[in-house]
A = this chain, B = another copy of it.
Amino acid sequence: MTTVVALGGNALVRQGQRGTAAEQLANLREALPALAPVLQEPRVVVTHGNGPQVGNELRRHERAADEVPPLPLWLAVAQTQAEIGALIESELRTIADRPVVCVLTHVRVDEDDPAFAEPTKPIGPFHSEEEAETLRRERGWTMVADAGRGYRRTVASPAPLEVVELEPIRTLVAARTIAIACGGGGIPVARREGSLRGVDAVIDKDRASALLATELAAERLLILTDVDALYRDFGSPAQHEVRELSADEAEALLPELAQGSMRPKVEASVAFLRETGGEVVVTSPAALEDALEGRAGTHIRP
């Protein structure tokens, strides 16, 4: 059994937190013990997002730019893999009884991906309308309004095509090492003059996780997020959890789901299911134990 676990949202930085190392360690200390039964399995890969962290890192680069050279976005993504990987390792080592290792992971994208013409991935802090206008003008950033919370920079989020370090990851999990990989969706690279070169983008971590799960022929993709399960009629009196879905039903549900939140998770899940015949479980760390026994979470099967 190979399981890919995608850690998101509150497991790292909670709403209202600034993303200190202490906050992230405390959040992980709360979230990760739920993974104990999964860590008993022979082959496990943990992936994670990096939204707040990559935003913080880019601000650091900008603020110090008059003194030390800012690094390009693709290297900022790399930096967050190390930051978050080291934090996850720090906590995972206390509950896993075997080696844990974070693999710096590049993911190939296509420079002709239409996503580069239309940046959709929000990163970094919220800005006022006035600040947003200045950033648009002075830095050429694409800024979009986020319902009621202000404006955020958006960057291209191209489709992940290939996990560059697939073979090393496979080698490690075959040796029963728990691998942390594809952090923040992976460091985006594109083929240029015969070699792979960093490109400035942020790949969706759920899409990258589903690609990795597919390439590893994983039997299970666990997507850990802030809600216990998918809901239908969310926010209305008729709101109810969806316990089971077929891939076709999941696909039909897509238009109902929040863009930038549940929709990419379910889209990625469907892509994985169609390729592998595996299973996807969408749930929260708190509900994971019940979800593994079929009593919570949303289970999507081919």
A195 adjacent to B93 (CB under 8 Å): yes
Partner of A86 from the list B75, B90, B103, B175 (CB cut-off 8 Å) is: B75
Tell me whether A15 is interfacial, beta carbon within 8 Å.
Answer: no
B93 adjacent to A196 (CB under 8 Å): yes
Closest B residue, CB atoms, query A62? B64
Instruction: Report chain B residues within 8 Å CB of A64.
Output: 56, 59-60, 62-64
Partner of A18 from the list B69, B79, B94 (CB cut-off 8 Å) is: B69
8 A Cβ contacts from A46-103 to B = 56-57, 59-64, 67-69, 71-72, 74-75, 78-83, 85-87, 89-90, 93-94, 99, 101-103
- Beyond A60-B63, A85-B104, A103-B101, whether A90 also contacts B171 by CB under 8 A is no
B69 adjacent to A78 (CB under 8 Å): no
Closest Cβ of chain B to A201, distance in Å, is 14
Tell me whether A264 is interfacial, beta carbon within 8 Å.
Answer: no
A 182-202 to B, binary, CB cutoff 8 A, 1 in contact else 0: 000001010000111110000
Tell me whether A253 is interfacial, beta carbon within 8 Å.
Answer: no
Closest B residue, CB atoms, query A193? B94
8 A Cβ contacts from A13-52 to B = 18-21
Instruction: Report chain B residues within 8 Å CB of A194.
Output: 94
Tell me whether A165 is interfacial, beta carbon within 8 Å.
Answer: yes
What CA separation (Å) do A197 and B57 show in the bound complex? 22
What CA separation (Å) do A74 and B82 show in the bound complex? 11
Partner of A172 from the list B68, B89, B102, B172 (CB cut-off 8 Å) is: B172
What CA separation (Å) do A93 and B165 show in the bound complex? 11
A60 adjacent to B68 (CB under 8 Å): yes
Instruction: Report chain B residues within 8 Å CB of A101.
Output: 103-104, 165, 168
Closest Cβ of chain B to A250, distance in Å, is 34
Instruction: Report chain B residues within 8 Å CB of A86.
Output: 74-75, 78, 104, 106, 187, 198
Instruction: Report chain B residues within 8 Å CB of A87.
Output: 75
Closest Cβ of chain B to A279, distance in Å, is 28
What CA separation (Å) do A187 and B94 show in the bound complex? 17
A89, A180, A194, A196: most-surrounded residue (chain B CB, <10 A): A89
B21 adjacent to A99 (CB under 8 Å): no
What CA separation (Å) do A94 and B187 show in the bound complex? 17
Instruction: Report chain B residues within 8 Å CB of A106.
Output: 86, 89
Closest Cβ of chain B to A239, distance in Å, is 36
Tell me whether A293 is interfacial, beta carbon within 8 Å.
Answer: no
What CA separation (Å) do A47 and B99 show in the bound complex? 21
A residues neighboring B (CB under 8 Å): 18-21, 56-57, 59-64, 67-69, 71-72, 74-75, 78-83, 85-87, 89-90, 93-94, 99, 101-104, 106, 125, 165, 167-168, 171-172, 175, 177, 180, 187, 189, 194-198
Q: List 9 A-B contacts (CB under 8 A).
A: A19-B69, A21-B75, A56-B64, A63-B67, A93-B195, A99-B165, A103-B103, A168-B177, A171-B177
